[in-house]
Each structure stands twice: as C-alpha cells, then as structure tokens.
Amino acid sequence: MTIPIFDRAQSAARYIRARAGGEIQVAVVLGSGLGAFADTLAEAVTVPYEEIPDFVRSTVEGHSGRLVIGKVEAPAEGGIRREIMVAVMQGRFHYYEGYSLDEVTLPIRAFGAMGVKKLVLTNAAGGVSADLEVGSLMIITDHVNLMLVSPLRGQHDERLGARFPDLSEVYSRAYREVALAAAQELGLELRQGVYMALQGPNYETPAEIRMMRVLGADAVGMSTVPEAIVARQMEMSTLGISLITNAAAGVVDGPIDHDAVMRMGARVSEQLSALLHRVIPRL
C-alpha cells in the first residue's frame, strides 16, 4: 500500500527535527554547483539524504546529496547576539532523474510539516534574455511552468493545503525587496526576471529559446517551480534566486556544457553565500 505523502512528510520532519536539536526557521535549497553556502554555517550537523526517511538520492553532478543544519548569525539587537537556525539542502531532486513530483517536493513538505514558513530556492539557469550576463544573479519575480505537470496533481489531501492555491505571488515581493537591499549593501548587481521550467534533462534548442523569449521568460532551468508551487500551497513565503551559468542555446554561439555550468557555480558561490548571510536574518 502506498503511504500518503502527508505521512511521508511527517516521518521525514520528525527525523530532521530530532537531528536539528532546535527550531529551524529558514529552509534553503542550493542548486547545481551552489553548495558552498552550506559549508559556512556555524555548529553544522550534516545528514546524508539516504538517512532521512523517504528522501531519495540526488544523482546529478554538483548536488552533494546532504542536508546541512546550522546557524547564521543575525545582527545583534540591544547588544544581544542572535543566531538563525537554517536547514540547507546541498542539492535537490529533479523530475528528469526519474523521480515523481511527490518525491521531488517531499523535502519542502517536510519543512512545512516542521512549521518552517521561510524558504529560499536557488538554481543554476540559462540566460534567455540577452540582458542577463553569464555569472549574474537574478531574483525570480514569477515563473512559467513548461514542465506541463503540477506537483499538486492527483488525489487531494486537505492536510497539505488548498487544492487550488492562488499563485498570484509565488515569490514574495517583500523578500525580493530584502534581497535587493542586501545586494546593494554588498555592491552586487541583482537583476529581476521570470524563470521558465522545463522537464529536461536535455538543454533547449535555439527555436525553443526563441519561443520562451516570446512567452516572457528571462531565464530557463529544470527545477524550482514544483518546489515553489508546493511551498505556496503550504503557505510558505519564498525567495527565488537564479545564477545565470550560461547563455541559452542560440543567444550566443557555442555549445552548452554541464561542466561549464558547475565551474560558473563555483565562481559565484562566494557572492551567493555573502548575499544569503545578509538576507536570511531579515526574512
């Protein structure tokens, strides 16, 4: 008999809560090549995904496949030092790996079951807009779901949230303002744009990229959207950040290579880490 996703999320949540030893306030998902932020956490506890009930394994290069629970220092208030406990996924699960969307989004449901209401989703993306330079960071303002499937499809369990959640503001406007202010303090230029998700794992054709531009996409990738939809259903507030690791097919001449995506992620990880350390305490 198939175990309901609600019960699977509760089981994972109990295990994570026991390993955390405290209340997790913010959850972060790190995309391809962007795992360095997890290594900056204080008092970190590392949990391989295979130890967490019902978590699957990440099979993609650049995804370490572990949950890191630790602390981010927040600005002192009244001379008192504060710390924020965060749970950071070093790598995510993808639909193209052959997993169901229930499996892909189970970590988000587990965080929601723990009472986490603040979520940061990051990814490596291709730049569809010619204005997005390789190596730049883009705040996600909205998305287009060309994966053509919803993580909410199937029998509804009201314990997970509304069957027809409103997606007018999937990515928190308030969180975007926090990120823009933090970037300005750091001297980082943050762009804003629309993220389009496809199933993958192949990269897109030049003709598909031209179509995406007409449809309003600024960046394209193979993740994030299912997680963001589930987070919205569970009434979590989400900040989305894309690292533009490559120009999409046809934007510039030359092939797209996953190794190059990883190298670009490594180059910009330090900037992303600095930004997250500024942003997370203010969410």
Of 223, 237, 242, 269, catalytic:
223
- Which secondary structure element, helix H or strand E, spans residue 22, and what is its range? none
Of 12, 124, 147, 212, catalytic:
124
Strand partners, 241: 122, 139
Per the annotation, the verdict on 124 as an active-site residue is yes
Of 38, 114, 222, 231, catalytic:
222
208 to 130, 151, 250: CA distances (angstroms): 15, 24, 9
Q: Enter the DSSP assignment of 160.
A: G
Which two structure tokens, joined as six digits, stand for 23? 């209340």
Strand partners, 69: 45, 87
Of 129, 172, 242, 246, catalytic:
246
CB 219 within 8 A of CB 133: no
CB 220 within 8 A of CB 126: yes
Of 15, 20, 49, 63, catalytic:
63
Task: Please name which of 257, 267, 277 lies closest in space to residue 137, comparing C-alpha atoms.
Answer: 267
Task: Please name which of 227, 215, 221 lies closest in space to residue 243, comparing C-alpha atoms.
Answer: 221
Question: Burial level of 77, CB count in 10 A (0-12/13-18/19+)?
Answer: exposed
- Can you tell me the distance from the alpha carbon of 26 to that of 118, in angstroms, rounded to the nearest whole number? 5
Per the annotation, the verdict on 113 as an active-site residue is no
Per the annotation, the verdict on 96 as an active-site residue is yes
26-30 and 118-127 beta bridge pairing: parallel
CB 119 within 8 A of CB 236: yes
Per the annotation, the verdict on 32 as an active-site residue is yes
Could you tell me where the DSSP H helices lie in 43-191?
101-113, 173-186
Helix axes 101-113, 5-20, angle to 10 degrees: 50
Per the annotation, the verdict on 172 as an active-site residue is no
Per the annotation, the verdict on 97 as an active-site residue is yes
Per the annotation, the verdict on 223 as an active-site residue is yes
237-247 and 80-90 beta bridge pairing: unpaired
Of 73, 74, 83, 96, catalytic:
96
Which positions are annotated as active-site residues? 32, 63, 94, 96-97, 124, 222-223, 246, 258
